[in-house]
Structures are given as structure tokens and as C-alpha cells.
Amino acid sequence: MRPFKYVRARSPQEAAGLAGETPNAKFIAGGTNLLDLMKLQIETPATLIDVNGLSLDKIEATDDGGLRIGALVRNADLAWDMRVRRDYGVLSRAILAGASPQLRNRATTAGNLLQRTRCAYFYDPNQPCNKRKPGSGCPAIAGYSRQLAIVGGSDSCIATYPGDMAVAMRALDAKVELVNEKGETRTTPIAEFHRLPENTPERENSLKAGEIITAVTLPRPAGGTQIYRKIRDRASYAFALVSVAAVVAANKVNIAIGGVAPKPWRNESAEADISKDGAKRFVSALLADARPTEENRFKMALVERTIESVLNGQGG
Ligand code: SF4
């Protein structure tokens, strides 16, 4: 690990300001992904801005009947919160399907959103990787890609967003709240928070220099049946090959999928077809622009079967 400076921020505005004015700075909260990357020298920040002292660790009701989840709420606290378990069951289940109890006790809401891909080439400094070193190439496209994206990738990168929590948040129409160094707040739908790689796979989200995530907001509960089904190579402590977050209400079905794209993947306009035509037509629209590799083509069928199992009421 390379030497770095360490500073503690006292307010979100100060943290955002420090991030904007300090070259090569990173926020640290739980550190469950960042510290691994620093040990491997994949991430080499000159300064770490510790945000653990900010008062962003509350889960509060909003005026419109929803929930505001502070950026520093630990994953375990969010998953076990009674309001989340009762009204947003898909979110609780998704979080508990990820990582391990120790990691969930430490990892935060914002850190979970910002976690980086687990592409094996990204983690190997001896390999080229456009995401780690722009312009160096992407060996995954013709190489080991079993875990990687079938849709949403580009000729530059086919990495997947690896998390579970954000997939459920996408199905729940969550919004991400951010503050800049002037104290100005902006809110973005989670659908627009994570970016597709295109020609700049090193840019993974819409967080700007001089901004910090302060919260994620959920709309009023949608009710219905809420399921998170995660298919992976072993039963625990593994990233998804395919995951499905579903909110199945009386007259509306929201489905987001994980493990298949650089961001939680959803096609709202196709969701109206689910009840009329079953999953096949919906999945065709959901994966319309898919470009699987030979190694991960199996995910095409796996998505369809997993969605069908969820629509038949099988959680997991
Ligand atoms: Fe790097 Fe993305 Fe290619 Fe993986 S898929 S090697 S992260 S550029």
C-alpha cells in the first residue's frame, strides 16, 4: 500500500469541498472495497477523506410517505430495519444476499453504490484494463468473461456492476441525493446514477468532483410481493451471475436485474407486457441489445428462467 494523507471531514459540505480541491482524493467510510483495492495498488489515492463522522447514519420517514436512508447507514442496519423489512422487503433481501455479516456490518449505503467491478483483469495490475488504465485494452472481451456483462457493455469494457442493494433500489425507483461544496443539493434517479462504459469505462457514475452522496430516498411503499432471487456459483459470499429484484403489485410489475450489465438493468416500458405475455417477450425487450461472449452466453437463458421463477413466486 502506498503512503497517503488522511483527513476527517466534519460536514458533508466540507467533505465535498475537500474532494473537489484535493487532487486524487477518495472518500472512505466502511472501506470494504477501497482498502482491498489500495492493498493491490489498483487504487492509489493521495488523500483519504474520512466521512465516518458525518451525521448521515439515520433512516427517516419522508413527508411523502417514503424513506430517506442516510449515506452512512450500515448495510446490516438497513437490511434489518423494521420499516425496510415490512415495506421494502426486496431491499432487505437483496442486502442480505450480498457479502458476509462482517462486511454488511461495516459497509455503508453510499459505499455499496460506489463499489467497483470484480472483473479479474481489473484486479490484476499485470494485465491491461481500460477501466484501470484508459486506453490499455480490454482482455476480458476475448478472455475470461463468464462473470461479465451480456448487455450494456462496449468495445472498451464489459464489466458488471457487482452489487445487490442497488438492483433492489432500481426496482423500487430510488433516488440518490448529493451535496456539493457550496451546500447545494441535487437528486438523481438511481437509473441515471450509474453510467454505461462507452469509451470511458473509468467513469462509473454521475458523481461530480466536489460532490458527496448524502442519502438514498425511496418512494412511498408499492406493496405487493417483493422478491430478490440471486443465482451464483456457490450459496453464499459470491457475486451474482444473474439476480432479479421484483416488486409485483396488483396492476404493476417492476423488475430490475443484476449480474448482467455495468449497472442495475431495467426496461420499464416492457414491464407492461409481463402479465399479458409471460416472461419471454419481456426478456426479449430487456435484453434487446445484448452482446454476450461465448463464455457468458448462458446468462441469456438464465435471465429468462430466473425471471420466470420469480414470477411464479419463488424467492431466494
Ligand atoms: Fe477492464 Fe472492463 Fe475489460 Fe474488465 S471488462 S478488463 S474491467 S476494461
For 4-34, what is each residue's pLDDT tens digit? 999 999 999 999 999 999 999 999 999 999 9
Q: Which atom of ligand 1 is nearest to the CA of 156?
A: 8
Residue 76: in which H helix or E strand, if any? Answer: helix 75-80
CA distance 158 to 33: 20
Q: CB under 8 Å to 251, separation ≥6 — which residues?
A: none
Percent of the chain with pLDDT over 70: 98
| Residue 38: HSE in the Cβ half-sphere, 13 Å Cα cutoff | 19
- Residue nearest (by alpha carbon) to ligand 1 atom 2: 157
For 52-68, what is each residue's pLDDT tens digit? 999 999 999 999 999 99
Q: Does pLDDT of 316 surpass 60?
A: no
Q: How far is CA 163 from the centre of its chain?
A: 5
Q: Which atom of ligand 1 is nearest to the CA of 119?
A: 4
List all residues whose CB is within 6 A of at least one atom of ligand 1: 117, 119, 121-122, 129-131, 138-140, 148, 157-159, 201
As a whole number, the mean pLDDT across the chain is: 96
Which mutation among 117, 123, 124, 131 tests ligand 1's pocket best, with the greatest number of atoms within 8 A of CB? 131
Q: For residue 157, how far is its CA from the centre of ligand 1 (angstroms)?
A: 5
Say which amino acid occupies 118: R
Q: What are phi and psi of 235, to 5 degrees?
A: -70, -20
Query: What per-residue confidence (pLDDT) applies to 313?
Result: 77
| Overall CATH class of domain 59-113+164-218 | alpha beta
Confidence (pTM):
0.97
For 173-226, what is each residue's pLDDT tens digit? 999 999 999 999 999 999 999 999 999 999 999 999 999 999 999 999 999 999
Which mutation among 37, 40, 43, 121 tests ligand 1's pocket best, with the greatest number of atoms within 8 A of CB? 121
Residue 230: in which H helix or E strand, if any? Answer: strand 225-231
Residue-by-residue DSSP string for 171-225: HTT-EEEEEETTS-EEEEEHHHHBPP-TT-TT--B-PPTTEEEEEEEE-S---SE
Q: For residue 280, how far is its CA from the centre of ligand 1 (angstroms)?
A: 30
Q: Does pLDDT of 268 surpass 80?
A: yes
Q: Does pLDDT of 114 surpass 90?
A: yes
Query: What per-residue confidence (pLDDT) applies to 277?
Result: 60
Say which amino acid occupies 157: C
For 270-290, what is each residue's pLDDT tens digit? 998 886 567 889 999 999 999
Using the 8-state DSSP alphabet, how is residue 256 labeled?
Answer: E
Instruction: Count CB atoms within 10 A of the CB of residue 31.
Output: 19
Output the CATH code of domain 225-311.
3.30.390.50
Helices then strands, each counted (H, E), the chain: 13, 12
Q: Which atom of ligand 1 is nearest to the CA of 120?
A: 4
Using the 8-state DSSP alphabet, how is residue 164 labeled?
Answer: S
Q: How far is CA 277 from the centre of its chain?
A: 29
Query: What per-residue confidence (pLDDT) applies to 251?
Result: 82
Higher pLDDT among residues 229 and 251, named by residue? 229
Q: For residue 129, how far is its CA from the centre of ligand 1 (angstroms)?
A: 5
Mean pLDDT of 223-242: 94
Which mutation among 115, 129, 195 tests ligand 1's pocket best, with the greatest number of atoms within 8 A of CB? 129
Which mutation among 122, 150, 195, 295 tests ligand 1's pocket best, with the greatest number of atoms within 8 A of CB? 122
Q: CB under 8 Å to 234, separation ≥6 — which residues?
A: none
Query: What per-residue confidence (pLDDT) applies to 272?
Result: 86
Q: Does pLDDT of 35 surpass 60?
A: yes
Query: What per-residue confidence (pLDDT) applies to 279?
Result: 85
Domain boundaries, the chain: 59-113+164-218, 225-311
Q: For residue 148, how far is its CA from the centre of ligand 1 (angstroms)?
A: 9
Evaluate whether 59-113+164-218 and 225-311 have a shared fold: no
Say which amino acid occupies 253: V
CA distance 78 to 92: 7
Burial class (CB in 10 A: 0-12, 13-18, 19+), 10: exposed
Q: For residue 222, how far is its CA from the centre of ligand 1 (angstroms)?
A: 37
Range of lowest pLDDT (115-119, 208-212, 230-234, 247-251) = 247-251
Query: What per-residue confidence (pLDDT) applies to 160?
Result: 98
Q: CB under 8 Å to 274, separation ≥6 — which residues?
A: 253, 255, 282, 311
